[in-house]
Amino acid sequence: MPTNASRSLLDALKDFFRSEQCRNDILSILPTDKSDIANVITLTLNYCKLLEYDFELGRLLWDLGSRARYFFDKLTEAFKQVALELSDYSLPEDITTKIKIIKFGSNRSDLVRHQIPNCQDRGHFICFHGTVIRVGTPYVFDATRSFECEECGAIATVTKSSNMERIKLKPTRCSNEDCKSTKFRSMKETEDKSISLSDYREIKVQESLQRVTSNNLPRSFSVILEDDLV
């Protein structure tokens, strides 16, 4: 079915999850007994189903480029809302929903890479075929942490990405415009309601030996995995 441009992305994705392609898949993972509800509900989604349902909607993921994370956020939000609709009982509002996508990029030859990605691939999703030769230790880092101004007590929040995992960040100025203090106290986890923890792991991937030309050694590069990928 063609996507109606007047609909929001969230509404379009909710209609997809309500369709025959996904409805039964969602019902199959919902426990029949309310007491069996887990803290996390995970749906395995064949990406080809989204393309078959609405090719333009599925292709939007590639068109967003570096903003594709927005698409995944809306996809997960739509799944959660439809799961709440389809359940025979009331699911907790704070239940966590996750989506594991399969067949993602394998049907797009222009996205498949057998050699190390280059600068032209920056900001784009690609499907790399290679061998994992090293797996690092998983870590948990505080992606979001709050600090309290020692002078006025105002709260300032700092957000960092996984490539800054070992760097301790502090606010550079107070969130209170009338306060000029630059001294902050890191709030304890029990005090910090905005704290956000993320899983983090680094792996090393090597080009496949079968794809390397003669007299050349396979090259490798590091990949950072976060959250569900860890």
**Is there a domain that residue 88 lies in?**
yes
Listed in sequence order, the residues at least 6 apart from 11 whose beta carbon sits closer than 8 Å to its beta carbon are: none
Within a domain: 2: no
Within a domain: residue 99? yes
82 lies in the same domain as 159: no
Rounded CA separation 225/197 (Å): 14
On whether both 31 and 96 belong to a single domain, the answer is yes
Number of structural domains in the chain: 2
- pTM given for the model: 0.55
Domain range enclosing 84: 9-111
Q: Tell which of 111, 131, 162 closes a domain.
A: 111
What is the per-residue DSSP string for 59-111?
HHHHHTGGGHHHHHHHHHHHHHHHHHHH-SS---TT-EEEEEEES-STT-GGG
- Is 222 within the bounds of a domain? no
Residues 96 and 165 in one domain: no
**What integer is the mean pLDDT of 124-143?**
84
pLDDT tens-digit readout, 51-81:
888 888 887 877 666 677 788 889 999 999 9
Angle at 200 between CA 194 and CA 206, to 5 degrees: 155
Among residues 111, 137, 164, the one where a domain terminates is 111
What CATH number does the domain containing 27 carry? 3.30.1640.10
Same domain assignment for residues 93 and 167 = no
Helices 9-18, 55-63: inter-axial angle, 10-degree rounding: 130
Residue 230: pLDDT band with limits 50, 70, 90: low
Residues 45 and 99 in one domain: yes
Residue 13 confidence class, pLDDT cut points 50, 70, 90: very high
**Residue 19 within a domain:** yes
4 located within any domain:
no
Least confident of 2-11, 44-53, 110-119, 148-157: 2-11
- For residue 226, tell me if it sits in a domain: no
**Higher per-residue pLDDT: 193 or 204:** 204
